[in-house]
Amino acid sequence: MIGSDFYLDDPRPADGPPVIVGAGPAGIRAAQTLLAHGLRPVVIDEAPKAGGQIYRRQPDGFGRTPKDLYGFEAGRASDLHQTFDRLRPQLDYRPDTLVWNAQGHSLDLLHTAQRTADSLRWRDLIVATGATDRVLPVPGWTLPGVYTLGGAQVALKYQGCAIGDAVVFAGTGPLLYLVAYQYAKAGGRVLAVLDTAPAVQRYKAAPAMLAQPTVAAKGVYFLSWLMFHDVPVHHGVQLLRAEGADRVQAMVWKDAQGAEQRTNCSAIGLGYALRPETQLADLLGCEFAFAPLHRCYVPQIDADRRSSVPGVYLAGDGAGIMGADAAEISGELAALALLQDRGIKTDAARQAKLRQQLDKTQQFRQALEVAFPFPDDWAARAPDELVVCRCENITAGELRSTAASQPQGDINRIKALCRVGMGRCQGRMCGVAATEILADTLQVPVAQIGRIRGQAPIKPLPLDMTVVSADQEASHG
């Protein structure tokens, strides 16, 4: 009915190596599985080294041992790194390469070191883009010295340095304890761990936690270790603000009894678990649905990690946060599904077992949500002056007043009107907090606020990049 010469018409290629985006635990296991079945995948990652977030590797010349870097996970980390190093000669591995766009069956790449761009056609694609911190700001969070938990951990793992010499870790979730432990273990001074989850939640979740006794035991271990080493751990707190003149000097908070407390510090690591990195799946046209467990929209997958788009598989945290061990499992599952869809024989029993393991993680994940609940009252408590979107300097108050005139609540409309999520991060960082504030203001479920639409580029792109080879697509004008 409607004619256009500009329709996207890009049939799926009949052939070509499978492509994996992301060389974290999910991507690496996927690559290993494909190789084991005789396919040689292309593995793309914007990081200079494989390993992903949790098993991020240090730059050359840094000499800390895996045990120092990864603690309990040292075994898994070494295993994964060694696996990758062993496979690497067989892989078409492209580090320092950002996938900034997906168009039909092409991925657009930026080779970050040389600033060159080209594109790559795919026949089948495993998206294993992982997660980033779920950011819920407090007043003062834009002061130098305030980091996300993930950022604090990256500093420690990647650069071997601490975010400050006297650190407070605040927020909630297992990463809170893990990072505090890692800092303290590495010789950092941890002044306090401030958990917004009340202690009682931990007991409520305990039975279900036993779905993964070893993981649960690790959590208990971190907590006990911190207590044993006299790191104060407070549950059921309310974070009020970070204070400081030119840089952060204190965290001000309310304890479970409601008394205001102040902890002087030189840095704060702040975090409320993670959010999936879904931009690429969005550009690929994958269908999304609201996932109450993650409190956000995630791309839909079947039990074997097939997305709604033929040939696109979603592995790891990018389709919902499940953690590193599950990422490995899901990476293998996704690869097996891909192989199956290519008509290559796979081990059905192995697949069944992996699915079962993932189910278990899912149960555990639900228990974690009980133990470390999302702070439902965060949005209601956020003061009007709180900067929510730091790229565009949009405050909670501005969001509230914009929302008041937009009873439909749609976040894209609100973005258009007040610029929230319109800066360099394109809402990848502020989207969660903005959504919560809008839902609270309008008194509607978070799902009703929708999600910020993704558009290329996934991350900022240098204007002066050089195109080395455009793909062979016919140009229309």
Partner 1 sequence: MVKQLGTEVVVIGGGIMGASTALFLRQRGIQVVVLERDLCGSRSSGVNFGGVRRQGRSLAMLPLSQRAHQHWGRLTALIGTEAEYERSGHFKIARSEADMDSLVRYAEKTRDCGLDLQLLDGAALHKRFPIGGAQVVGGSFCPDDGQANPRLLSPAFATAAARAGAQVFEHTPVLEVAHNGQRFVVRTPDMEIRANVVVNAAGAWAGQFAEQCGEPVPMRIRPPAMGVTEPLPFFLHWSLGVEGGSIYCRQVRRGNVVFGGGPGLVLDDTRARNRHTTVWAQLPQLVELLPQLKNAQLIRTWSGNEGALPDHEPIISESSRQAGLYHAFGFAGGGFQLGPGVGDVMAELIAQGRSSTPIDAFRIDRFSDPACST
Ligand X SMILES: Cc1cc2nc3c(=O)[nH]c(=O)nc-3n(C[C@H](O)[C@H](O)[C@H](O)COP(=O)(O)OP(=O)(O)OC[C@H]3O[C@@H](n4cnc5c(N)ncnc54)[C@H](O)[C@@H]3O)c2cc1C
- Judged by beta carbon, residue 49 or residue 451, the one nearer partner 1 is 451
Phi first, then psi: give them for residue 81, nearest 5 degrees.
Answer: -65, -45
Coil, helix or strand for 59? coil
Q: Among partner 1, ligand X, none, what does residue 473 contact (CB within 5–8 Å per kind)?
A: partner 1
Euclidean distance between CA atoms 296 and 317, whole angstroms? 13
Euclidean distance between CA atoms 283 and 410, whole angstroms? 20
Q: Which of 58, 78, 103, 263 binds partner 1 (CB under 8 A)?
A: 103
C-alpha separations of 444 from 373, 414, 436 in Å: 19, 15, 10
Q: Which of 279, 395, 426, 441 binds partner 1 (CB under 8 A)?
A: 426
Q: Which of 99, 180, 184, 387 binds ligand X (CB under 6 A)?
A: 99
- If one asks whether residue 475 binds partner 1 (CB under 8 A), the answer comes out as yes
- Minimum CB–partner distance for residue 84 and ligand X (Å): 11
Euclidean distance between CA atoms 187 and 393, whole angstroms? 36
Coil, helix or strand for 238? strand
Q: How many other CB atoms are there within 10 angstroms of residue 453's CB atom?
A: 12
- If one asks whether residue 427 binds ligand X (CB under 6 A), the answer comes out as no
User: Nearest CA to 146 among 271, 13, 293?
Assistant: 271
Q: Which of 92, 96, 243, 473 binds partner 1 (CB under 8 A)?
A: 473
Q: How many other CB atoms are there within 10 angstroms of residue 54's CB atom?
A: 24
Coil, helix or strand for 5? coil
- Minimum CB–partner distance for residue 302 and ligand X (Å): 18
> Which range touches partner 1 (CB under 8 A), out of 48-56, 101-109, 325-333, 441-449?
101-109
378-387 burial, b if ≥16 CB within 10 A, otherwise e? bbeebeeebb
Residue count at the site for partner 1 (CB under 8 A)? 42
DSSP state of 261: E
- If one asks whether residue 46 binds ligand X (CB under 6 A), the answer comes out as yes
Residues in region 315-374 near ligand X by CB under 6 A: 316-318, 323-324, 327
- If one asks whether residue 472 binds partner 1 (CB under 8 A), the answer comes out as no
Give the torsion through C-alpha atoms of 433, 435, 437, 441, to 10 deg: 180
How many angstroms separate the first and last alpha carbons of the chain? 22
Strands (E), 203-302: 233-234, 238-244, 248-254, 260-264, 267-272, 274-276, 288-291, 296-299
- Judged by beta carbon, residue 183 or residue 253, the one nearer ligand X is 183
Q: Among ligand X, partner 1, none, what does residue 311 contact (CB within 5–8 Å per kind)?
A: none
- If one asks whether residue 264 binds partner 1 (CB under 8 A), the answer comes out as no
Q: Which of 160, 186, 423, 447 binds partner 1 (CB under 8 A)?
A: 423
Euclidean distance between CA atoms 454 and 2, whole angstroms? 25
Residue with tokens 């991925």: 107
- If one asks whether residue 447 binds partner 1 (CB under 8 A), the answer comes out as no
- Minimum CB–partner distance for residue 277 and partner 1 (Å): 17
- If one asks whether residue 277 binds ligand X (CB under 6 A), the answer comes out as yes
- If one asks whether residue 281 binds ligand X (CB under 6 A), the answer comes out as no
- Minimum CB–partner distance for residue 305 and ligand X (Å): 11
- If one asks whether residue 171 binds ligand X (CB under 6 A), the answer comes out as no
Residue with tokens 């892989």: 91
CB 26 within 8 A of CB 96: no
- Residues lying near partner 1 in the complex (CB under 8 A): 1-8, 101, 103, 106, 108, 117, 119, 285, 392, 408, 410, 412-413, 416-417, 419, 422-424, 426, 455-457, 460-465, 467, 470, 473, 475-477
- Residues lying near ligand X in the complex (CB under 6 A): 21-27, 44-47, 52-54, 98-99, 128-132, 150, 153-154, 175, 178, 274, 277, 280, 316-318, 323-324, 327, 458
